[in-house]
Structure 1
Amino acid sequence: MIVPADGGVCASVAVVGPERGGLRSQRFIDLGQFQDAESAFSAAIGAAEAWIDDEARRTRRTPGTDFASLF
C-alpha cells in the first residue's frame, strides 16, 4: 500500500501464502517514507520478493532442525 505523507509517500506491503483451508503464512512489512511513488513501489516489490524467497528456503529445511536439507 502506498499512501501520501508529508514530503512524499509511505509504503507497506502484505504478503500472504495460501494453503488448503486458510493461510499458511502472512507478513506485514512497513517500509517507511519515500520521495515518490515509483521508488516506494520498487521497494515494496523488492521486500515482498525477498520475504517470499526466504520463506521458500525455510520450508525446504528439514523439520525439527535449523539446517537446510542437502537433498
Structure 2
Amino acid sequence: METNILKQIFIDHWNPFVKKYGERIRPSVLKEVQKFLNCGNPKNGFKLFVCEGCHHTKRVPFRCKGRFCTRSSCIIM
C-alpha cells in the first residue's frame, strides 16, 4: 500500500479513467501522470550513500521532478 494518498488514488483509478477518456486527455498530462506514478522507484535510478565508519549503505531513489508530483514538484516559471 502506497503511503502517498494522492498516488494511491491514481494507482487505483488512473487506468479506468484513461480507458474512458483517453482520446480527450492531452499528451502532456499523460506524460506528467506517468512520471508521477514512477516517482521514487529505485528501478529508475538511485544514489547510494555509504558510511565510511560502519559501512552502512542507504539507497535514495531519484525523484521525477514533475509539475504534478506532490513529493518533488518543480515549479516552472
Q: What TM-score comes out, normalization by structure 1 length? A: 0.25
Which structure shows the higher helix fraction? 2
Q: What TM-score comes out, normalization by structure 2 length? A: 0.24
Which structure shows the higher strand fraction? 1
